[in-house]
Amino acid sequence: MKFITREILDKYVGDKEIIEESVLIRLMKEEFGRTIPNEEEYDSDNLAEDQRKRMTKAISENVEILKQIKNAKIKRSAQGLSSYSEDEKEFDRLVHEVNKNG
């Protein structure tokens, strides 16, 4: 674990009661070699897209997760359950059936 001494910390914050984020970011960069982007540097839409891409890649590379997805699909099909992501009419029919019988 990396650490800094109180003397080094005081170099950055002194006796301030309130420490600005920019001071902490500079401290992390200069003392630990860490770059910490602030929120303004990222567009939330792009960040969400980046996260989606990383998660998609992580899932597609994980054999165990892919096996679980495949098994769930097989089990759902064996029980007569359908996937309605592309068939809106069939989904509407199912809702109607459930409402009629429920």
What would you report as the CA-atom Rg of the chain, rounded to the nearest whole angstrom? Answer: 26
Is the model more confident about 58 or about 37?
58
99 pLDDT more than 80: no
Q: Kindly report, residue by residue over 14-57, the tens digit of the pLDDT.
A: 988 889 888 888 898 999 998 877 666 555 566 677 788 888 88
CA distance 37 to 15: 26
Tell me what percent of the residues of the chain surpass a pLDDT of 70: 74
Type of residue numbered 57 = K
Q: Kindly report, residue by residue over 78-90, the tens digit of the pLDDT.
A: 766 655 555 667 7
What is the H or E stretch that residue 83 is in?
A: none
The answer to whether 12 and 26 are in contact (CB under 8 A) is: yes
**How does residue 11 score in pLDDT terms, banded at 50, 70 and 90?**
very high
Q: Which residue stretches of the chain are H helix?
A: 6-13, 21-32, 44-61, 63-78, 88-101
